[in-house]
Amino acid sequence: MGKAELPLHAPGTKIDRGYIGESVPRPNAQRLLQGRGAFTDDLRFPRLAHVAFFRSPYAHARIKRLDFAAASRAPGIIAVLDGRAVAQYCTPWVAVLAHLKGIKSPPQHAIAIERACWQGEAVAAVVAESRSQAEDAVGLIEADWEELPVVVDMDEALSGKRVIHPDLGDNICFKRELDTGGVDEIFASADVVVEETFHFGRHTGVCLEGRAILADYNAGEHSLTVYHATQAPHMMQDIFSRHLGIPEANVRVICKDVGGSFGIKVHVYPDEMATAAISVMLRRPVKFLADRLESFLSDIHAREHKAKVRLACTKEGEILAFDLDDVTAIGPYSVYPRTSGIEGNQVVNLTGGPYKHQKYRAKMNVVFTNKNVTCQYRAVGHPIAVALTEGIVDLAAQKLGMDPAEFRRRNLIPDDAYPYTTFPSGIKFEKLSHHQTLNKLLQVMQYEKLRAEQARLRKEKIYRGIGLAAMIEVTNPSPAFYGVGGARISAQDGATLRLEPTGMVTVLCSVTEQGQGTEGIFAQIAASAVGVSMDKVKVITGDTSVTPYGGGTWASRGAGIGGEAVLQAGRALRSNVLDIAAAMLNMDKAELDIAGNAVIHKLTMQNKLELAELGRVAYFRPDTLPMNFQSELTVTRHYTPRQYGFTFTNGIQASLVEVDPETGFVRLLKHWCVEDSGTVINPMLVDEQLRGGVIQGIGAALYEECLYDAEGQLLNGNMADYLVPMASEMPDIICAHVETPTLQSQLGAKGVGEAGTAGAPGAVMNAINDALLPLNARVTAMPFTPERILKALKKVD
């Protein structure tokens, strides 16, 4: 069956799929369009205190003395606190996971004690009646520092000449080696061997809404309510409970509207933990918002990899082996609780992903440096693995004189080879569609025509390039991702559906809305599964006291896991509704279905009973139902993906660029993305997810980099100097789909949130190098700024 267990209702009727696959506008977008959203900073509380942080101006320094005298006397000041004071209310953490063997990191406090390890680390907190008063007083704190040696370069960190945390012995947070054996022999005898070293700049998420938290401790009941811009409310509930010493059930995390997250808002931030601790200490609500300058200094950064990769192939173009050596620098701490070892680990898992070679060797080191911390940001590891794989694949094709699309076709895992269990890194693929996506891409982009146009324009000294990037992607992760390593991060999610007396359906789900459209697609799924129209569905997410327990939004899991829980709960609710209908109508349940907000006769499609009437009877006149009959109009279902560690998806992207060899500027002309995310619930939302992801990937490829000097000072930590993609530079992006539903769930949906970001940097890089080919130039260090392109062209030094 094409769609796993779909159809939802009687086959052949108009209602068999309901809203699944329809481009329905998101109901919850209306309030945002009217400026009536409720972001954390929009909330108003009596006795609210505001916190601002005094942050280290040095990348590495001992705190010799902090003098709060002047700050404490400033207008509106409630408290000025150092690390030791906050530590009385918040225990430190160590970000390691048992399944990342050997990973190590020092204990980290909410506010640094004795020593700051990156520029921007909070070393004191000022609490005041207003944010501006708190910021004024931050400027009055006097500090004496003893500067310590700074390690900013990853090779220097790896060498261990200067060790940032002496107790750990060296600067290596985590290392991993993988070897199928036989790699050296293959490289020694292969017809063709290519090698390249790729550099990936350190960049960050730049959510338009900065990190935001409002913690409200109630001493009367020893309870803490936290309004938090987060992706994982239950994870944070557990963290606040354990580190602040408050029983889990007394901690409520409420996630209202969130202004972008992309992985930035799924981590534990010291300044946010301090804010919650201060609320407990002061017994009043306390708010912290990271302003833009603080965001650049303290939101997690990501990437910063240097990866040497080799590829061996036959002269016929068969890839035989990949050999990888990756180093990544993560700042001074592994980030809690997901650790900063995951991105490098993913690069090892995913390199060579789309291809059928059988030999692979990888070495990967994660090192500490005195820069801001890095951790999981959208597409974790994928942009690195895809770009280095696709970059070296293009180089091999070039050396063979083979068209890059044809070279890929010869090496992609065949579409009939699934389940595929012999991928050399050990990951397993349930069902992918590389050849279908490649064929569709070439057709949609009119590849041959573009190549002809490119050749014609080259004669006119117009340098256009076409770049391809095939990819595999982790989605719907099982507990193998975090849970097995001891992290209290849920891989399962739950949904509760309740039929209200008027026939409306309320959905409560543990997956959160970050703007991606979670609540919209849950409404589509619930309406379809029950048989009501979407205007009858109300979706509630983001409240640990209200929804079932679950993981939240990360790793492209919301639709596939949360959506499945909603579907199963919806089907169960429909069944329960039909039990009542059968009792009321004195008919056989098998004869009945629900459509258009009413119970209908399955064969005649005749309307038998409005759900509003059924609800009225079930709730207010149950005395009219049979004596032993109890209606159940609230049902809860949970779902955990178990059969595979990850539900891999696949896709392929292409970029068309024009490079101006005089200025080094790259103009993006068009971008294509063909994606197989299984069952597509809402094509419009999926396409815009893909496009947004592509744009973030383009940012990494062309503009975005957190630049540090040799002293560990961030040089461009503001929006004027750190460039992000804006509308005028971005191309139109053409999306197309292949649908291979996962058979692990009834819904069949795989994830899509990270696909665009995973593939775009590699596609853009290959397009630029394709454009530069006739000029004998090549770039391998992202972002590809005009300066780097001109250097490659030897036009500047």
Partner 1 sequence: MEHALETTLTVNGQRVTRRIEPRQHLVDFLREELGLTGSHIGCEHGVCGACTIRVNGEIVRGCLMLAVQADGCTVETIEGLTDSKELAPLQKAFHERNALQCGFCTPGMLMAAQDLVRSKAKPTRDEIRAHISGNYCRCTGYQSIVDAIEETLNGQG
- Shortest CB 130 distance to partner 1, Å: 8
What are the beta bridge partners of residue 764? none
337 touches partner 1 (CB under 8 A) = no
Rounded to whole angstroms, the Cα distance separating 629 from 622 reads 9
- Give the nearer residue to partner 1 in terms of CB position, either 36 or 161: 36
705 touches partner 1 (CB under 8 A) = no
Residues within window 220-279 making contact with partner 1, judged by CB under 8 A: 257-262
Residues 6+ apart with CB under 8 A from 264: 204, 205, 207, 211, 299, 300, 377
Candidate list 328, 696, 742, 746; residue touching partner 1; CB under 8 A: 696
| Type of residue numbered 305 | H
Q: How far is the CA of 269 from the CAs of 53, 124, 211, 333, in angstroms?
A: 13, 15, 9, 11
- Give the nearer residue to partner 1 in terms of CB position, either 42 or 588: 42
Tell me if residue 362 falls in helix, strand or coil: strand
694 touches partner 1 (CB under 8 A) = yes
- Shortest CB 729 distance to partner 1, Å: 8
- Give the nearer residue to partner 1 in terms of CB position, either 446 or 718: 718
733 touches partner 1 (CB under 8 A) = yes
Residues 6+ apart with CB under 8 A from 416: none
- Give the nearer residue to partner 1 in terms of CB position, either 628 or 728: 728
| Type of residue numbered 138 | V
207 touches partner 1 (CB under 8 A) = yes
Q: How far is the CA of 353 from the CAs of 180, 468, 558, in angstroms?
A: 15, 14, 23
205 touches partner 1 (CB under 8 A) = yes
- H or E element in which residue 243 lies: helix 233-244
Candidate list 7, 21, 37, 786; residue touching partner 1; CB under 8 A: 37
- Give the nearer residue to partner 1 in terms of CB position, either 641 or 753: 753
46 touches partner 1 (CB under 8 A) = no
- Shortest CB 273 distance to partner 1, Å: 24
- Give the nearer residue to partner 1 in terms of CB position, either 140 or 395: 140
Candidate list 484, 583, 669, 730; residue touching partner 1; CB under 8 A: 730
Which segments within 255-377 are labelled E, that is strand? 286-289, 301-313, 319-329, 359-367
Q: Do the beta carbons of residue 530 and residue 615 sit within 8 Å?
A: no
29 touches partner 1 (CB under 8 A) = yes
Kindly write out the interface string for residues 755-784 of this chain, putting x where it contacts partner 1 by CB under 8 A and - elsewhere. -x----------------------------
- Shortest CB 356 distance to partner 1, Å: 32
148 touches partner 1 (CB under 8 A) = no
Can you say how many angstroms the Cα of residue 28 is from the centroid of all Cα atoms in its chain? 21
CA atoms within 13 A on the CB side of 161: 9
Size of residue set near partner 1 by CB under 8 A: 56
Which segments within 314-461 are labelled E, that is strand? 319-329, 359-367
209 touches partner 1 (CB under 8 A) = yes
Name the one range near partner 1 by CB under 8 A: 144-152, 421-429, 656-664, 718-726: 718-726
Q: How many CB atoms lie within 10 A of CB 366?
A: 30
Name the one range near partner 1 by CB under 8 A: 4-12, 339-347, 482-490, 719-727: 719-727
Instruction: Tell me the Ramachandran region of residue 553: left when phi exceeds 0, alpha when psi lies from -120 to 50, beta otherwise.
Output: beta
Concatenate the DSSP letters of all residues of 141-183 into one string.
-EEEEEE------HHHHHHTSS-SSGGGSSSEEEEEEEE-S-H
168 touches partner 1 (CB under 8 A) = no
- Give the nearer residue to partner 1 in terms of CB position, either 144 or 732: 732
Rounded to whole angstroms, the Cα distance separating 515 from 507 reads 17
Give the ranges where 73-120 is alpha helix by DSSP (H): 83-87
Q: Do the beta carbons of residue 472 and residue 460 sit within 8 Å?
A: no
Q: Do the beta carbons of residue 557 and residue 751 sit within 8 Å?
A: yes
- Shortest CB 332 distance to partner 1, Å: 27
Query: Crossing angle for the helix pair 518-530 and 563-585, nearest 10 degrees?
Result: 30
596 touches partner 1 (CB under 8 A) = no
Residues within window 390-419 making contact with partner 1, judged by CB under 8 A: none
Q: Do the beta carbons of residue 108 and residue 48 sit within 8 Å?
A: no
1 touches partner 1 (CB under 8 A) = no
- Give the nearer residue to partner 1 in terms of CB position, either 231 or 433: 231
- Shortest CB 631 distance to partner 1, Å: 37
Rounded to whole angstroms, the Cα distance separating 24 from 735 reads 18
495 touches partner 1 (CB under 8 A) = no
469 touches partner 1 (CB under 8 A) = no
- Shortest CB 148 distance to partner 1, Å: 32
- Give the nearer residue to partner 1 in terms of CB position, either 430 or 519: 519
* Maximum alpha-carbon separation in the chain: 89
Tokens 């999981």 sit at which residue? 376
Candidate list 153, 325, 591, 688; residue touching partner 1; CB under 8 A: 688
Residues within window 655-684 making contact with partner 1, judged by CB under 8 A: 684
Name the one range near partner 1 by CB under 8 A: 85-93, 199-207, 305-313, 744-752: 199-207
584 touches partner 1 (CB under 8 A) = no
Kindly write out the interface string for residues 108-137 of this chain, putting x where it contacts partner 1 by CB under 8 A and - elsewhere. ------------------------x-----
- Give the nearer residue to partner 1 in terms of CB position, either 375 or 569: 375
Query: Crossing angle for the helix pair 404-411 and 382-400, nearest 10 degrees?
Result: 110
- Shortest CB 734 distance to partner 1, Å: 10
728 touches partner 1 (CB under 8 A) = yes
Candidate list 35, 46, 220, 401; residue touching partner 1; CB under 8 A: 35
- Give the nearer residue to partner 1 in terms of CB position, either 209 or 323: 209
- Shortest CB 289 distance to partner 1, Å: 9
724 touches partner 1 (CB under 8 A) = yes
691 touches partner 1 (CB under 8 A) = yes
Kindly write out the interface string for residues 8-27 of this chain, putting x where it contacts partner 1 by CB under 8 A and - elsewhere. -----------------xx-
CA-nearest of 67, 769, 750, 776 to 429 is 750
515 touches partner 1 (CB under 8 A) = yes
Can you say how many angstroms the Cα of residue 777 is from the centroid of all Cα atoms in its chain? 34
- Shortest CB 127 distance to partner 1, Å: 18
718 touches partner 1 (CB under 8 A) = yes
Q: How many CB atoms lie within 10 A of CB 545?
A: 12
Q: How far is the CA of 576 from the CAs of 528, 593, 607, 623, in angstroms?
A: 15, 11, 18, 18
Tokens 């602040």 sit at which residue? 244
Tell me if residue 490 falls in helix, strand or coil: coil
- Shortest CB 555 distance to partner 1, Å: 18
Rounded to whole angstroms, the Cα distance separating 218 from 222 reads 6
- Give the nearer residue to partner 1 in terms of CB position, either 695 or 777: 695
Name the one range near partner 1 by CB under 8 A: 241-249, 350-358, 648-656, 712-720: 712-720
Candidate list 726, 774, 787, 796; residue touching partner 1; CB under 8 A: 726
- What is the spatial order of strands in the sheet that 649-659 belongs to? 463-473, 649-659, 666-676, 733-737
Tell me the backbone φ, ψ of residue 366, rounded to 5 degrees.
-110, 120
Residues that bind partner 1 (CB under 8 A): 25-26, 29-30, 32-37, 39, 41-42, 44, 132, 205-210, 257-262, 291-292, 514-517, 684-685, 688-692, 694-696, 718-720, 724-730, 732-733, 756
